[in-house]
A and B are shown apart, each in its own frame.
Chain A
Amino acid sequence: MGDSAYSFSLTTFSRTGKLLQIEYALNAVQQGKTSLGICASNGVVIATEKKLPTVLIDSKDVSKISLVTPSSGFVYSGLGPDYRVLVRKARKKAQSYFNIYQEIQPVGPLVRDVAGVMQEFTQSGGVRPFGVSLLVAGFDDQGPQLFQVDPSGAYFGWKASAIGKNSLNAKSFLEKRYSEDIELDDAIHTALLTMKDGFEGEMNEFNVELGVVSEDRRFRILTPAEIRDYLDEAL
């Protein structure tokens, strides 16, 4: 980052005290495909639309949800290439943590590290902010957790949240259906119903992706067959 020819930050304060590049980055996120997450009492689920521009793309090898530690995963809304960079950096940081402490990096510290990277790109010379918001799902000694990280590097823990195009509708949908003691299976059904609510066209097990972590602390991406089962139950 320090080796670019620009030694000044591109993200500077406007006269009214705003950081416009970050606001514009948030607009880029708003235009991205919808993703959401729900934190249940015994696990976390994250979901996203997987709409590829053409049927000619071999979609079974394409995945928007990524495993970062054995117990946590990311999903995003916004610019795909920027997301790949963050996943790579987060995986490396998690591996360094493991190298030192010989245990899996917990969700809070992981989120703090990723958010730190995103903040650096709002202040360093010659770079623009990341055009993604992340939803981080994980299970550690503090239990199941869901975090949202924005292009500014700000992060919050959420009981349920949505990002991207349909986030406003999705969040009100989620507000009605969320309860503190919701269980993971219910949360998965609710996630699918929420995705379906704002989905353009028919939603099936091939154009939606689900990632889940439960008390076993193993984050996994569900197969289309498993999604099909949940869809049949939910609808």
Chain B
Amino acid sequence: MSRDSNYDHHITIFSPQGRLYQIEYAFKAAASSGLTSVAVRGRDSAVAVTQKKVPDRLIDPTSVTNIFKVTDEIGCLTTGITPDARAAVQRLRYEAHEYKYKYGYNIPVGVLSQRLADISQVYTQQASLRALACVVLLIAVDEEKGPQVFKVDPAGHYFPYLAASSGAKEQEALNWFEKKVGTFAELDENETIRCAIQCLQSVTDFRGNEIEVGIVTGKEGKFRTLAEEEIEGHITAINDMDL
């Protein structure tokens, strides 16, 4: 069956050049939602910001979200096809709580990221399951390492980032961050939030209630999402800064 190398577009087997087309297509599917997300690691906080588009005015806006709490300490931001994203979040929650049950302490976010990445790798090697079409950004403040931002993609890659982006304007956001890479380590909580929002503002357009913000601050910090008024407050502060 794999004699017909046309199947390399249908399942995850190698193409003649050694590429995995299904994985490349999964990346495209993950970017197809049209939304962009960013995450930044400051001095003692990790912040994730994503666009929020409610597709229909009749939909209850509180049910539309791409930011999820995985454990009290770890939050995640998904970019891609919503059902796949929800499946990934369910798995993350299961893995994190299974770890706590087995080992008696909270799973470090790096270990959880690697677990999700290893699961994603299995989908790239088994023909019977397709890759999940979503990129996951995990944020937490680790006991030993401080604030952490991890990105896990459909190919099974995962890396710790100083600042990360995913989605439609991923490259533009990355370029914006790269210019400021030396400044992140000194940002306090508010500055980190504003940095992330500014990045998103410069690569996309949105009004106050069209973004979601998730944050963890401090070693004892819990993951929380900001309310609309808090987000408006930050956007106002940013506008005041520019003037």
User: Which residues of A line the B interface, CB within 8 A?
Assistant: 1, 4-6, 8, 10-12, 14-15, 20-21, 24-31, 52, 54-58, 61-62, 79-82, 84-85, 88, 121, 126-131
Contact = CB atoms under 8 A, between A and B. Distances in A.
B128 A27 contact: no
B159 A62 contact: yes
Contact of A10 (B2, B114, B181): B2
Nearest to B162: A56
A128 B23 CA distance: 13
Given A6-B127, A30-B18, A128 B5 contact: no
Contacts of B3: 12, 14-15, 20
B12 A128 contact: yes
B127 A81 contact: no
A12 B178 CA distance: 46
Interface in B77-115: 110, 114
Contacts of A85: 118, 121-122, 125
A205 B116 CA distance: 30
A94 to B, nearest CB: 18
Q: How large is the interface on B (under 10, 10 to 19, 20 to 34, 35 or more residues)?
A: 35 or more
Among the interface residues A14, A30, A56, A85, which one has the most CB atoms of the partner chain B within 10 A? A56
B1 interface: yes
A58 B117 CA distance: 17
Contacts of B159: 52, 57-58, 62
A74 to B, nearest CB: 16
Contacts of B110: 61
A28 B19 contact: yes
B17 A4 contact: no
A120 to B, nearest CB: 12
Given A4-B128, A57-B162, A85-B121, A128 B1 contact: no
A164 B159 CA distance: 22
Contact of B14 (A6, A28, A55): A28
Contacts of A21: 2, 13-14
Given A10-B2, A54-B174, A126 B128 contact: yes
A126 B18 contact: no
Contacts of B126: 1, 4, 126-127
A84 B17 contact: no
19 contacts: A6-B127, A6-B128, A11-B2, A20-B2, A21-B13, A24-B14, A27-B14, A28-B20, A56-B162, A56-B181, A58-B160, A61-B145, A80-B156, A81-B120, A84-B156, A85-B118, A126-B126, A126-B128, A128-B12
A83 B132 CA distance: 20
